Structure 1
Amino acid sequence: MRLWKIQRILARCKDIKCVSKSFVPALVGLCLGMTLSMMYAPFSEDSCETYIAKQDPQKMIKLRDTKSVDVVDEMYEPRQLDIENIDQSAYKLDTKASSKFYRPKFAATELGIRQKLFVAILSSKDSLNTHAIAVNKTLSHYVTKVIFFIDQKAPVIPPGMIIVNFDDGYNHLMPINVLKYVIKKYGHDFDYYMFLSDKGYVRAENVFDMVSLLSVSRHVHLGAPKGVEGGKTYCVLDGGVIISQSILSQVNASMKWCSDNCHHSDQSLNFGKCLLHVTDLECQSTAANKVYSAYPVKDFNFDKDIGALKVQSAFNKSLSVFPMPDDISHYKLHRYFCEVELNSTRHQIQEMKDNILFMSQFAPGGQESVTWPIGIPEPYRPKNRFDVIRWDYFTETQIFFQDDFTNVRELTGVDKLDVQDIIKISMEKLNEKHSNKYLYSYLINGYRRFDPQRGMEYVLDLALEDTSIPREAEEEHNYNKRIIEKRVLLVRPLGEVEIVPMPYVTESARINIVLPVTVRDMDGWGIFLENYARLQADAGDSLALIIIYIYQQLPKPGEDDIYTVLKSMSKYYDDKNEGGVKTVTINFASNGTYVPEYKLLDSVSDQLDNDALIFMCTIGMLLNAELLNRVRINTIPGWQVFYPVGFWQYKPNIIYEKKPFPAEIEFSSKTGHYDVLSYEHGSFYNSDYKEARKPLAEAELMNYDIYEMFVRYGKLHVFRAVEPEFKHYYMHLECLPSSSAALFERCVERKSLSLATRSQLAKRIFQYQDKRDALQKSGDKDAQQNGDKDAQKNSENKNVPQVPPNNNVDKKAD
């Protein structure tokens, strides 16, 4: 039947001339093959469904673990196993060995992505505070990680350096001990490992760029070849030795041989002998067309030798120079190579500018299409009127309309330094172009704006004195001819975005919320405590509240406590949440004077551990889990403190027309603002606070707050940023004259900005004026009506006889 249908199809195809004679046998064979395979499949004993079930489970597990390539193709196809016929004990895991499976915290760890360069510095007790410090200052901020190794314990340990001590008395085995330590601790974390003596100088930035271009799949043994051991060349440690992770993993299997056979007095020979025993790859100065050029010097004296060395191309292109006689020579050489890099960068920039100008003539628009400065993106083009970037007008002393809340402000701090710097740069460029004939007189106009595509742009109108025009003392008007005006344009371009490495922190740290409470804060106490209790019900032990009650006068025995209701509420939540609310009472008989923040924190700091995380709060802020997680992540012990900028609500009876006011804070420009002058909310670790507190006397701390204390301390990064999850209800600010002048002025400024927007305040003023005018008009009308009534009453009483006045009564009445 099927053959008959095929013949009919072929006959039809012949009629339409679509099949050739050579195609007919192939088509017939294909159809017969499909028919026979379908007839044979039901009778096959070794079908696809039963193949896996007949295999040995232990053999299958072994093949799976070894990822054997000899497995038949059918094993890679998805199938359903016959669970009843398989021994389930073969698939059980050892619960003692692996009770729980932990996933890595980062995808890079799970994928096996390693960091780039690890540097091990071989130093000694005598050179740790000289040569090693010089290497650390010139190398550590360019590479991923640096560790120093010494042979004996040093009496003075330099701060900020990771030091490992091998105090075993075998100085010649120090390279082998370093290899053991690096393999054990960091053997799988980096792509390349550099071993260097502290007597060598290395241009670390160039070395890092070089290894970044090398493939991680290559076996690399780079350095400065020194001598021959067993017919093979090894590297000198003073010049630096770079090996790949693949070679380091091979060394691990031969560490015992290295410890038994490397006993030469030369550390470089012992290190090279160990590497050469493991691999046949000798020390090379080139890998993948990348050259590691080392320049050896003898009896190096920078002041005498630099004149002859700087004209040598090999010296200027070298990546390492060794050995260094002292740390001063190390610093001087580093400064020289920084100048070489700076000149090279300037030369490259100029070449790129010339190339851009040359190529622009072939582009649409020609050279006129090239924006200034050359190589900097063109200015931002606003899409609508709301995207227009505002120019800020400034003089040498003041800046106008810097934001929506200020009309004029005095130039201080970094703003003043910025204006002075651009004026200085303008004069240098003008005199460079006009043969030093101008003297700066004064700034006529100044404008600046921040362009997100270009950077900070400036327009300056300068009044200059032209010294090329002769001055005639007898004619005063000639002096005015010497004053000319010049307009200059400047741009501070945005640099390359750099990722700052930060220590890893978790979101499980316990937060101790410190809450100072005064009498004026009693209205919002219930809302804050209820909000906190709801958060602690989920957080548990990771959250605690420390309340500080501040009294103006000490209560006498038998007198009522003004905080009785507050303390009863805190005790209720304390019992409910099993000790989560801790109360610390601080009594200040200050009679309303200013209480500095450090006094409050000193009383709390003594009761907490050094590793406690402190978060300063105020009544009125809305706590939420996301905000607390940001606090945990952005506060790093020994590294960073966090001061968020929150969204503060305006005064409700001004921004809203009628009651009832909304219970929640509406997030908009008409209901609140980000208060950049608020510094009372901050998070830091107790150990960091104690360290920053030590060098400052109480007289100094009275003049500024805790934020300023951390800034002046200078050893911690103060991270301050806008926090969208931080919202705060309106709070009446009480500015006490007993505080320092700076704090009082800042408080007054905050108070004026915390009421409402300008339009809202103006509207209220107009409403008040209209109401006052209406009252005044109504009062005048009432007075006129009262006057008419009195006149009518007097006219009615004209015929009534008048009683003569009694003088005595009048006097008494007076």
Structure 2
Amino acid sequence: MEFSHHSEPFRRMVIFIMKWRAVLMLSICLLLVAGIYMCFPSGAGSHILSHGRRLMTEDCENLQQQVEYFQTISIASEKKYKDTVDRMRIQNSEMKRKFDVQRDIVKDLERRNRQIVERLSNIESGGPRKRENDYRLAPHIKQDVLRSLNIHQTSEFEVIPYMSFSKDRLYQLEPGMINRPEAAPIGDKKRELQEILDMSLTVLNSNNNGKQYNQWDLLQGYSRIDRMTGTQYELYFSSKGKKNNFEHVQMFRPFAPLQSVQVQSFDKKNEWINLVVPLAGRVETFVNFIDMFAEQCIKKDKRVFLTIVYFGEEGLEETKSTLEKVTSQHSFTQYKFIERPDPFSRGVGLLVGAESWDRGNALLFFCDVDIYLKDGFLDRCRLNAAPGSKVYYPIVFSMYNPSIVYSEMNKIPPYEELFVINRDSGFWRTFGFGMTCMYRSDFLFMRGFDTKIQGWGYEDVKLYRKFVKSNIDVVRSPDPGIFHIWHEKNCDPHLQPAQYNMCLASKALGEASHAQLGMLAFRELKRENELLHSETKDENVELQNELDDDDVWLEVNKQFDN
């Protein structure tokens, strides 16, 4: 605004000076010509006069050019100043908008702080609580309230356990993908532990006039989460200079009230999924797969394109015949069958299937032939993937060996009834990254799979790591609509050690649960016990019924499984 204000007067002043300069020089020239004319004869005077006129004309033209030059400079400077002012105005507007946002955040935090202080005052003064939530928003202040998290629970299953930790180790009941009861903290858990230690040491050292505490003085720490209130921390430190004395630090991280962040509507009625399956042999498995595809994708969803990339000659004709039979039966034409003569490579097959699509930026679902889908999965595939924004990596429920799971029954249930989720039927395959929903553009941007990898596995892990390190959000969640069918797994001894170890681990985990394998190992002991009590069975019926009635574990587990 300051430059714009002075630009016009400046231009006028320059033009005014140039005009007066021209007038002054013209006057001087006229005086000189007049003097020369009077001093010389008439003929010479005329010659000199004409020469003077020519010089004056040239000076005037030069002056006019200078005036025009300065006018051009003035106009360019004015435009430059105007552009600068406009840019500064836009920057000021953006800064004002950011300032308003920050001011609103500060006001909201101040409002919440006043509410918490008011609720705390009511609790400490014994005043009435307006709502039950008021009591649960301020437990981090009153020490006695923390202890009440595990008081008057309806059963032992509602007790909130602590996670134990030291300065560099976590001892956790829910190990997650790490699958270790004891592990070094990583990611957000590492940052959380460091923050806890730093704050507790700050509190201890601010109240201590002697030696300073450090993380090596931590004896043990505990934390637990109440999902309605927040996280409680209990830390015990060895006291400085006092044998068998300890310092206890309590901290609490409260949860904020629920907030509505965003509401969106999605129209997915025209969203097609290109389901890509790499395949070699396994004709019987393909028969079950294509029947499932017909039921879930052709009949119900109707917006799935099937791309099969087949390697080798073994089982090729049988597979093509099965595919043509099912597609002809349902009048289904949205499929493509690609033949590859080279050895099987899952990464190559998925890359070929993705590149073969020529209908724009399609949503891809990379799938294996031993996958079974249920209602709802395809919609979750569409909802949890967005081009350039997020990819969906569902955690598949992997089925155990049905011959072990149903060994106590007379026969294995029908195929469609096998796919239930409970602790005896299978497990969440947290280490699997092969089934994924992503847009073709994101897949190609990440350069797809490593096609140098031959045989089983690992190419999907490398792609997953690329997405984790990128700006694309990875949606990772157990999905109740996708199952990995149990099949005999043979690990090729010629695989690289990393691949071979992964294959063996998958084989070991996929047979049965820990309890089921244990019962198989102790099968003879179980039979001996049954024979021992077969003669006195009637006498023990009443005791057995009593045990069944009092066994809370069995009852609760039955409810969870159902």
The alignment's TM-score, normalised by the length of structure 2, stands at 0.63
The correspondence for 2:161, drawn from 361, 367, 390, is 390
Q: Is the 8 A contact 2:277 2:349 kept in 1?
A: no
Match runs of 1:492-571 below 5 Å = 492-501=253-262, 504-508=265-269, 509-519=271-281, 521-538=282-299, 542-550=303-311, 561-571=314-324
Over aligned residue pairs, what C-alpha RMSD do you find? 4.3
The residue number in structure 2 matching 1:413 is: 186
What residue in structure 1 maps to residue 71 of structure 2? none
The 1:518–1:437 alpha-carbon spacing in structure 2 relative to 1, beyond 3 Å, is: same
Q: Deviations over 1:293-319 (max 9, x none)?
A: xxxxxxxxxxxxxxxxxxxxxxxxxxx
Which of 483, 487, 494 is the aligned partner of 2:248? Answer: 487
In structure 1, the partner of 2:369 is 619
CA distance in 2, matches of 1:739, 1:349: 63
2:443 pairs with 1:689: yes
Q: How do 1:275-314 and structure 2 match up within 5 A?
A: none
Unaligned regions of 5+ residues in structure 1, if any?
1-123, 136-196, 210-337, 470-480, 552-559, 773-814
Mapped contact 1:704–1:740 kept (Cα < 8 A): no
**Cα distance in 1 for residues equivalent to 2:121 and 2:504:** 56
Paired position in structure 2 for 1:654:
404
**SS across alignment from 1:514:** strand
CA contact (8 A) 1:131 1:199 kept: no
C-alpha separation in 2, matches of 1:628 and 1:399: 37
Identity across matched positions, percent: 20
Deviations 1:226-268 (A, max 9, x none): xxxxxxxxxxxxxxxxxxxxxxxxxxxxxxxxxxxxxxxxxxx
Structure 1 residue 588: deviation in Å? 4.3
How many residue pairs are counted as aligned between the two chains? 424
Q: CA deviation at 1:747?
A: 5.4
Report the Cα distance in structure 2 between the residues aligned to 1:546 and 1:770, rounded to whole angstroms.
50
Match of 1:35 in 2: none
Structure 2: distance between partners of 1:605 and 1:128: 48
Are the counterparts in 2 of residues 503 and 636 from structure 1 also a CA contact under 8 Å?
no
Question: Which of the numbers 194, 215, 219 marks the counterpart of 1:440?
Answer: 215
Q: Distance in 2 between matches of 1:491 and 1:742?
A: 43
Q: CA 1:199 to 1:489, structure 2 compared with 1: closer, same or farther past 3 Å?
A: closer
**For the residues of structure 2 that align with 1:442 and 1:751, how far apart are their CA atoms?**
44
Other structure's SS at 2:444 match: helix
Deviation at 1:537, TM superposition (A): 3.5
Contact 1:574–1:582 (CA under 8 A) maintained in structure 2: no
- Residues 374-773 of structure 1 correspond to what in structure 2 (within 5 A)? 374=141, 379=149, 382-400=153-171, 402-403=173-174, 408-414=181-187, 415-434=189-208, 437-463=212-238, 466=240, 485-501=246-262, 504-508=265-269, 509-519=271-281, 521-538=282-299, 542-550=303-311, 561-576=314-329, 577-589=331-343, 595=345, 597=347, 599-608=348-357, 609-657=359-407, 658-662=409-413, 663=415, 664=417, 665-693=419-447, 704-714=461-471, 716-732=472-488, 748-767=504-523
Return the alpha-carbon distance in structure 2 between the equivalents of residues 747 and 131 of structure 1: 62
1:108-165 residue CA offsets vs partner (Å, 9 max, x unmatched): xxxxxxxxxxxxxxxx987999986x78xxxxxxxxxxxxxxxxxxxxxxxxxxxxxx
Contact 2:139/2:229 (8 A) holds in 1: no
Contact 1:617/1:680 (8 A) holds in 2: yes
Residues 380 and 452 in structure 1, CA contact (< 8 A), matched pair in contact too: no
Instruction: Quote how far apart the aligned CAs of 1:447 are.
Output: 2.9
1:705 is paired with a residue of what secondary structure? helix
Structure 2 counterpart of 1:360, one-letter code:
G
Q: CA deviation at 1:392?
A: 3.0
CA-CA distance at 1:510 after TM superposition: 0.7
CA contact (8 A) 2:433 2:460 kept: no
Return the match for 2:99 from 203, 211, 217.
203
Q: 1:493 to 1:619 in 2, by over 3 A?
A: farther
Q: How far apart are the structure 2 equivalents of 1:454 and 1:546?
A: 49
TM value normalised by structure 1: 0.45
Amino acid at match of 2:412: F
Note closer, same or farther for the CA distance 1:740–1:355 as it changes in structure 2 (3 Å cut): farther
Between Structure 1 and Structure 2, which shows a larger proportion of helix residues? 2
> Could you say if the C-alpha distance between residues 129 and 534 of structure 1 is closer, same or farther in structure 2, counting changes exceeding 3 Å?
farther
> For residues 217 and 452 of structure 2, what CA distance do their matches in structure 1 show?
40
- Give the secondary structure class of the aligned counterpart of 1:669: coil
Q: CA deviation at 1:361?
A: 6.3
Give structure 2 stretches of 5+ with no counterpart. 1-81, 529-562
